[in-house]
Structure 1
């Protein structure tokens, strides 16, 4: 998988392509055939302005009650009905959006590559305020009741007032010379925000003051080259049943006590796209597009699914009795939680999927690279008579 990295030198940020592993040269695995035992179907499909082709931006759709919010690299923000996909409002900032949309407490917040932050009313898209932070924003702003938390790529985290956009505090970490082109989203929990950094550390901050509550290291830089020493914590953090789960590129997947920062268990891995959890397991995908399940309480291995090798899959999401990932050709793959075996497959469009699917109750919302939204239901077992053989030819 090609990994975009950044080189920071004399205050300028340059982006360059680099190979993250020898598997970059591998052709993607061919899809295996299997007996499809899970019924899946699309409820609706709509086009949006979120064209992600050739982009590394993680502009994931966000849900607020019955409204679905999307933001495009070209500056368009759009609200749609979750039930029908119909438009509710649209707004064009006329500036390229690189981070967001963040949604909460009546606000939609997006940010740009110039460090500009825009807050809009969730109800109709009207402007609430416009502010700025220190540098480009590639993550989704987190919206709490009184504060918006924005992480920029220079290692700074800024707290802004939800009412005025006024800067309330700034927290800063050093950024290594070379790191993944991205920034993990801040994760809110009550009065605490959890944030991973490009130096392999994870911090818990008080959202009112920005003061650190604790910090722990998920990965230790190793190797001679800057590329070998990359240890970014860029993937999505997960808080489940009182435990925080995180992973670092070329580092570890860990379970953490969110109150103290104590590491409860760790597993050597090279994940960076994020993970998900349920009562029994933690699920993640690595840079080779292998999917793993770890026992939630101990971190011991449960299973590994490697038949999607080099297919550039998304981070997995947990839904019902399955784990779902998307791939570079636009396929969705449902894996049985029990053993990681395939139970369903569906083709959305051929532009590919790299944004992690969004779980909405027992349904999935998928944004493809060419900007199509697919609202998909999957969970009802197919009858023996209805079971189909899933393959490339039958999608």
Structure 2
């Protein structure tokens, strides 16, 4: 995986940022494993396509309340009807995007590369405020507030109606941070954020820390090797939240107690998905891995997608769905990882994990294509 360092002001002097050259870049000499004939165990019909314009990580689609929220790199944000693909609204925020989209069904928030948090409601700009640091993580819109995880590992809360800053929680930052989407979600009445290698529970009303759970330890002989950040999507089942520490570990946390249930070494850079009994992830070499949710023991792993730069997975029902860097969508059995189906898009990389809206499976590509299938 190629990683390049950039010196950039994040509102704190001396902070450096690591930016990935692609979410899970593949060494140039390692060719993607050839694909076998597509499986046809599970049938599906492509029901619509749309286009949002060329995009990039960490911009990823999100589904809320029957609407699909998507964005492109130049600053166009759209809400699509998840059943038809038609625009509910589409608007430009007037600047390139660095993170987004976060939404609650009516409001949507994005962050520009100029560090502006922009809140939209029904397709119209409601307010924008300048953040004290860059962010690569989609805002969380919940409870009439917009929460932001910034690259200096601070968390901020803003009033959803006015944009007024309500509170900021900061912690001492290491000299390096990861230029990749992190962890930010609501679990009951707790705001859960990934701060360095710690999954941290915050009081959403004031930002006070309620608990911290360390998923991975910093190792190595230099600052780059010691970098540990929580990345990507997480798997939540009730109070159990499972997350990935970049290129170090995967693990699950009991958020009611604020304790680590288990942590296992893993070498991936994308998020996780799962269900009540298993957790699924993709490793940097293209291996797809399943762990037992209760104890972290390996359930299965498949390596036929080596070096195909897989997305984070989507676990739903009896299947696990992943995308690759050639626009393929692979549908695997949750029981053993065997092939069940494969769908093609426009040949460009799939962005982020596939998403589900009701019974509709949806992906967004780097070229801006949005594709939807319904199981037969």
Q: Same fold (TM over 0.5)?
A: yes
Distance in 2 (alpha carbons) for counterparts of 1:82 and 1:74: 23
Worse-superposed segment, 101-110 or 148-157: 101-110
User: What is the distance in 1 between the residues matched to 2:281 and 2:340?
Assistant: 18
Distance in 2 separating the partners of 1:119 and 1:344:
38
Could you say if the C-alpha distance between residues 356 and 129 of structure 1 is closer, same or farther in structure 2, counting changes exceeding 3 Å? Answer: same
Unaligned segments of structure 2, at least 5 residues:
none
Q: What is aligned with 1:255?
A: 252
CA contact (8 A) 2:242 2:251 kept: yes
Q: 1:42 aligns to what? A: 46
- Name the counterpart of 1:79: 79
Structure 1 Cα separation of the partners of residues 227 and 298 of structure 2:
25
Q: Does 1:184 align with 2:182?
A: yes
* CA–CA distance in structure 2, aligned partners of residues 35 and 250 of structure 1: 31
Say yes or no: does 1:331 pair with 2:328. Answer: yes
- Superposed displacement of residue 16, structure 1: 5.7
Query: Structure 1: any 5+ residue segments left out of the alignment?
Result: 381-395
- Take 1:17 and 1:319, find their aligned partners in 2: how far apart are those partners? 29
More divergent stretch after superposition (301-310 vs 13-22): 13-22
- Partners of 1:302 and 1:12 in 2: how far apart? 40
Aligned in 2, Cα 1:143/1:16: closer, same or farther, shift over 3 Å?
Answer: closer
For residue 31 of structure 2, the aligned residue among 21, 27, 50 is 27
Whether contact under 8 Å (1:3, 1:181) holds in the other structure is: no
Residue by residue over 1:158-183, the C-alpha shift from the partner in whole angstroms, topping out at 9 and shown as x without a partner, is 01011211111101133333333213
2:274 corresponds in structure 1 to: 277
**Structure 2 residue matching 1:228: 3-state secondary structure:** helix
Structure having the higher Rg: 1
Normalising by structure 2, we get a TM-score of 0.92
Q: Secondary structure at the match of 1:128?
A: strand
Moved over 3 A (4+): 1-25
RMSD: 2.2
Q: Is the 8 A contact 1:105 1:144 kept in 2?
A: no
Confirm or deny that 1:114 pairs with 2:130: no
Aligned partner of 1:242 in structure 2 is 239
Could you tell me how far 1:235 is from its partner in structure 2? 2.1
Query: Which of 120, 130, 133 is the matching residue for 1:132?
Result: 130
Shift of 1:331: 0.4
Number of corresponding residues: 372
> Aligned equivalents of 1:26 and 1:305: distance in 2?
18
Whether 2:186 is the aligned partner of 1:200: answer: no
Distance 1:112 1:74, change over 3 A: same
Alignment of 1:49-60 (within 5 A): 49=53, 51-52=54-55, 55=56, 57-60=57-60
Provide the rounded CA distance (Å) in 1 between the counterparts of 2:191 and 2:307.
33
Scaled by the length of structure 1, what TM-score is found?
0.88
The answer to whether the 8 A contact 1:138-1:152 is kept is yes
Distance in 2 separating the partners of 1:238 and 1:33: 31
**3-state SS, counterpart of residue 351 of structure 2:** coil
Tell me the alpha carbon deviations over residues 162-212 of structure 1, each in whole angstroms, 9 at most, x when there is no partner.
121111110113333333321314111232111113x31221111111001
